Chain A
Amino acid sequence: MSHLLEATDLKMQFGGLLAVNNVSLHVDDKEIVSVIGPNGAGKTTVFNCLTGFYQPTDGIILYKGEPIHGLPGHIISRKGVVRTFQHVRLFKEMTVIENLLVAQNRHLNTSLLAGLLKTKGYRKAESEAMDRAEYWLKQVDLLDKANWLAGNLAYGQQRRLEIARCMVTEPGLIMLDEPAAGLNPKETSDLDGLISHLRDEFNLAVLLIEHDMKLVMDISDRIYVVNQGAPLAQGTPEEIQNNPDVIKAYLGED
């Protein structure tokens, strides 16, 4: 059986720097997979390659068996792979609800004329988008903030809105880059619950970069460790916790 997402021998070179060297990974349906490693290990670069933010120098990326490497970001996202970034990248000058509507642009009637004339089909699509947005605002507990400017939300709320914004695109795989960064322990445990909930309720696969080891060990089905751009280890949380190479990379040699 083929995997949901499968990357083979991914390479990314910036001038003389080999930021990602022969990283392979796969994610199956309904799986939560984490990528961990020291700062600067190339985790985010892997994400950037997978989502079309960078064009990988070499390697093959398949999503549902289809090659997606080299495709522009919007096409990859339309196929069902969406992501967040390390820092919050909401449209801060737009309202919460507008953030969720922008993400659904492709579901809407794309004709400019239909938009200007507000045809029946356009209005129907728009109201479906609105319903979906409302549904996801409920899921992340932000419904009462729908008309706030996104930039005025508290940090933890902005993080949740980003996840909702990914979810309205109805993805098959969501990639979260350090979603717990800057969250307090309470917010982190809420996030833990939200991610598991997404997987269980919406058949979603999750690929996660995270430094919060408690979160990673709690929710991951499998973990990949990268160090200095190269794969170091992979396995279940227990295997990783007991892997001497991983301990050495994180804590340094004796």
Chain B
Amino acid sequence: MSKNIRIRSAIVLVICIAAFVYLAPTITSNLPDLWKQYLPTEKIRLGLDLQGGMHLVLEVDTQKAVEITLTQIANDLKEALMDKRIKFRRIETMKNYTIALDMPDNPSREAMETMVKNSYPDLEVASTETHEGIITVNLKIKDNRAQDIRKQAVEQSLETIRNRVDQFGISEPEIIPQGDDRIIVQLPGIKDTARAKNLIGKTALLEFKLVDEEHSLDDALKGNVPEGSVIAYGYDLDRSTGRRTSMPYLLKEKTLMTGGYIERARVEIGDRFGEPHVSIKFNAQGSKDFDRITADNVKKRLAIVLDGNVHSAPVINERISGGQAQITGSFTMDEARDLAIVLRAGALPAPVNILEERTVGPSLGQDSIDKGLWSSIIGGILVIIFMIIYYKASGIVADIALILNMILLLGTMAAFKATLTLPGIAGIALTIGMAVDANVLINERIREEIRLGKTPRAAIEGGYTKAFLTILDTNVTTLVAALFLFGFGTGPVKGFAVTLTIGIAASMFTAVVVTRIIYDYFVWNRKIEKLSI
């Protein structure tokens, strides 16, 4: 029996040391260098509610992504039809996500449909109707392709936001997808939340468009916008008053180029006024396109449009072949820096909306840690004292189990990189209760056995055997509930379930295995005659 005890003790010791090794970095940051080299150094991760920071739930407007794709295809199709000299009266992107084409006769309809079939695999004919000799064909994006576009939009948004956050320089950000079209962004310790939100939520679609100088801007503002042109606004910041004034532009609708070809973007300070601007460099393909565009439009004005706002509209003095451009405008230094980041990281494929925001200041987090920690410690000490009063020496055994339980619970959390949240602390409090319960069950059973007149050895044997089934059933039932909470719950519910699940496992181990070793040691090796219980 004593050999058996030694083996069991060794196993328990190994587990406890492992837990302690994982827990040590959390307790002290003054670890010896040798430790830092070979042993874990990660602290228990704290949830945003404890360490402060921002939690955002974003929704990617995937419908918009489909719409954008559809518009692109429609433009492409229009040019292809003109190239092939297929007659058509009208081509338009409709509100219900279809492209409506008016064809004058059947041959041109057939030619168009053949072309769509061969060159546009994403499109299919949704419906055809004839009205006063004009055949209207409605084309739509195939359902599985639309599904792909939505999925890609979310994936690409995730990637882009991750890039932006990484470049912004926040330590340990968490950016994870949720459901079909949502993205959770967690930024621990962030201070300037407005700026971060702006950086993450900006679509950052950079477009180059020609200024329409053939038509009058005033006429357009009165409502006579010429076909193929749009009105856009530029905003100017007056530094002395801090007021922004807006200025209208009449632009050609067609986008000559987008920011998709940008290789590099960085902030530079202007020579004359010391104002920051963003200088961009295109990649090879972009340089070639930019070269062609500038060559074709010398002496015309090229507007640089970001998310629909005109930043500047300089006159193209000469062909630009180096692939370099500058975005000027009235930026503050931070704005210029953030713009460079979003241009480098790329545009979002579709707009994102903020559905949920939770910001916790660092001082509140610290308060919560302090209060949660202290109340846990006070509660723990009270329970420890109470157990000793009630069960005497056996109470001490139960207390050892309780303390080990805490070390195992926290050590496991550190090892699995689980996050400790405020409800998680409450889960720990419940674990203390469950651990006490297991010990109470065993001790009460042993007392019953002793009352029946059994020897300590037999009483312990009987007590453990009988209590074990009960402990197993109660713990497994709670475990089942906790696992469901973990699977289906969100936020606080999940945090609670994590600590509870680990806690139950630890409590079963300490109550059933660890305490038994101590009792066995005393009755077999020390051969005590009477149990202090």
Q: Do A and B bind each other?
A: no
B-binding residues in A (CB < 8 A): none
